[in-house]
Amino acid sequence: MTRALVRQVNGTTVVQSAVLEGSDGIVHAFSTRQGGASRPPFATLNLGLSVGDDPAAVEENRRRFFGAFGIDAGRVVRGWQAHGDGVLRVDAGLTERSGFPGCLLDRRAKFDALITRLPGFALAVTTADCLPILIHDPVRQAAAAVHAGWRGTAKRIAARVLDAMREAYGTDPGDCLAAIGPGIRGCCFEVDAIVTEAMAAALPHWERHARVNRPGHWLLDLAEVNRATLEAAGVRADRIDDVELCTSCRNDLFFSHRADTGRTGRMMNFIVVRADR
């Protein structure tokens, strides 16, 4: 049963997790495709500048989405996503770098997850079928944003993030809350041997979260694989919230690389440690 909260925040449609919503000290949201200024095929709240959309429309969409939560664009922190397992620690030294945060989008710096304890900085990941995972440690007041496509999932990026939080902040995964956001689900994510072989090499029992669809092809539930990875890393099952929304099935609500056959917009998903706590 889904606990997703699809709601309007200052005129912008967003998705939030009931588990994270009840966690004091953070603000979070998963964006949708509704409520923006972009024209087809990027209609309407496209937040990605690299897909061929009008840059002015994208900037307006970002202003609407982040502005709905009172977040200034200069405090939105993103990395160059490479479908890997790189984790970036956002600390005071990093924020003092020339050109921060835009400098993090240099293609030479590849990170698919960000962690921080600094208040007021929105850690954001971009998706259009891959899973966004947001994590909060309410004891250490640390947060993480994770981009988990099939490659990152096979590399156990969610567990690597928890390891990084433990090393940096003393995080105990048992204290953490995690939300798995909108992404392509087992109903729609058909994969072949390239994906299944990567899963088999890295993740025991991955096949528990997949079923044969036709010869040589499986329907893989990335959300359940990541849930299992989070649990194995020490996050309590009752503290993991899956919003259970498929970007391909709900193409009215989300951009989907598969449903839109490659030409589509991008969502952004963020978590921020509140400065006023």
Q: List, for residues 255-277, the tens digit of each pLDDT value.
A: 999 999 889 999 999 999 998 76
The stretch 158-179 carries a mean pLDDT of 98
The stretch 108-119 carries a mean pLDDT of 92
Q: Above 90 in pLDDT, residue 202?
A: no
Q: List, for residues 70-101, the tens digit of each pLDDT value.
A: 999 889 999 999 999 999 999 999 988 888 88
Q: List, for residues 20-77, the tens digit of each pLDDT value.
A: 998 889 999 999 999 999 999 999 999 999 999 999 999 999 999 999 999 998 899 9
Q: What percent of the chain has pLDDT over 70?
A: 98
Q: Which residue has the higher pLDDT, 3 or 12?
A: 12
Confidence (pLDDT) at 155:
95
The stretch 135-150 carries a mean pLDDT of 97
Confidence (pLDDT) at 3:
64
Confidence (pLDDT) at 47:
97
Confidence (pLDDT) at 1:
43
pTM over 0.85: yes
* β pairing state of 4-9 and 12-17: antiparallel
Confidence (pLDDT) at 104:
84
Confidence (pLDDT) at 249:
96
Could you give the CA distance from residue 59 to residue 243 in angstroms, rounded to a whole number?
27
Distances (CA, A) of 193 to 152, 198, 201, 216: 17, 8, 12, 7
The stretch 187-206 carries a mean pLDDT of 92
Domain map of the chain by residue range? 4-184+236-273
Averaged pLDDT score across all residues of the chain: 94
HEC readout, the chain: CCCEEEEEECCEEEEEEHHHHCCCCEEEEEECCCCCCCCCCCCCCCCCCCCCCCHHHHHHHHHHHHHCCCCCHHHEECCECCCCCCEEEECHHHHCCCCCCHHHHCCCCECCEEEECCECCEEEEEECCCEEEEEEECCCCEEEEEEECHHHHHCCHHHHHHHHHHHHHCCCHHHCEEEECCECCCCCCEECHHHHHHHHHHCCCHHHHEEEEECCEEEECHHHHHHHHHHHCCCCHHHEEECCCECCCCCCCCCCCCCCCCCCCCEEEEEEECCCC
Task: Supply the CATH classification number for the domain 4-184+236-273.
Answer: 3.60.140.10
